[in-house]
A = this chain, B = another copy of it.
Amino acid sequence: MMKILTPEEIADILRQKDNIQIFMHRSPDGDTIGCAYALCMALQRLGKNARAVCSDEIHKKYSYITDKVKKQDFTPGFFISVDIASTQLLGEQYKDYYDKIDLLIDHHGSNTGFAKCGCVDSTSAACTEIVAEVIRKMGVSIDRDIANAIFTGICTDTGCFKYSNVTAKTHIDAADMISCGADCAYICRLMFDTKSKSRIDIERMALESLEFYEDNKIALICITKQMIDASGADESDTEGIAALPRQVEGALIGITIREKENGEFKISARSAGDINVSKMCSLFGGGGHIAAAGCSIHGTADYAKEQIVSAAVATLKEYPEEQ
């Protein structure tokens, strides 16, 4: 059983520790990066050795955060995970650490409590909000670099303040970071208004593939390997593309089909209102949240499309009041 701590108690522990290694989750996003680097900077400000590590490479667009941490050579003796709900998210590369995490800080309600002690606050839209509180309780004043890292977590995990996880506190925490010097316009432009040419290409092709079913209530895009190859898009270029079909006015279920290797098609489903696409995806062995879920279907693109569309049609029928 993990010992539950308050941010203040975490701060007390951290003040006593040194040689600290902070783990981000694999496929690192703005929140896990913001957490790890903000905490690392704060610990370094207290004269400690600290580093942030990740099993996957961090995209270069985050260099305004990652460049601000001093590279220190030390043998770590205390292990923290940030924004990580379960050990496998540490990544294969770190599987020796799965049972060695001393402290975790997280905001996923589904956190498995794999560390010796930690704090999980699922009311925080971003995990960096909890880290900000820990840093304050450590007695470190939040400077511009730390504020940029914290703000990045807040804006990326809320889709730039758009998602339903946003509360008054989210905006108050963002305001705090701006008061501490966070360059919010720069960060938001970099995170939300900058697209690679490959991203532009894959987005255009995705829009060309738009299909509608059930009087436009189901919108579907299909991204084939051929499109990925033609655009030169990598993983980061297709980030968030699953949100596109649901954005079409009138669409209640948005489906994105992505061709993987060996006849595997990854399905992402998004919904409006109370329509449960997690249940729909569970028909194919997948799952997720009510409004955002996924699964995989093996076969041809046409087969995958036919299967998921008929499941979506059946799902829609369960929600006559949404239509």
Chain A residues packing against B (C-beta within 8 Å): 155, 160-164, 166-172, 174-176, 178-179, 184-185, 188-189, 192-197, 200, 203-204, 207-208, 210, 216, 243, 246-249
Give A168 Cβ to nearest chain B Cβ, in Å.
4
Contacts of A189 in B (CB 8 A): 162
Binding site secondary structure of chain A = helix
Contacts of A243 in B (CB 8 A): 193
Contact of A168 among B155, B179, B200 (CB under 8 A): B179
Q: How far is the CA of A200 from the CA of B221 in the complex (A)?
A: 13
For A189, the closest partner residue in chain B by CB is B162
Given contacts A169-B175, A175-B175, A178-B168, contact A195 B247 (CB under 8 A): yes
The 6 closest A-B CB pairs, nearest first, are A171-B175, A164-B185, A162-B188, A168-B175, A204-B207, A168-B178
Give A2 Cβ to nearest chain B Cβ, in Å.
31
A171 and B178 within 8 A (CB): yes
Give 24 A-B contacts (CB < 8 Å), ordered by A residue. A160-B160, A161-B161, A161-B174, A161-B188, A164-B185, A166-B178, A166-B184, A166-B185, A167-B178, A168-B176, A168-B179, A169-B175, A171-B171, A193-B246, A193-B247, A194-B247, A196-B248, A197-B248, A197-B249, A200-B207, A203-B207, A204-B204, A204-B208, A207-B207
Q: How far is the CA of A216 from the CA of B167 in the complex (A)?
A: 40
For A163, the closest partner residue in chain B by CB is B185
B160 and A196 within 8 A (CB): no
For A203, the closest partner residue in chain B by CB is B207
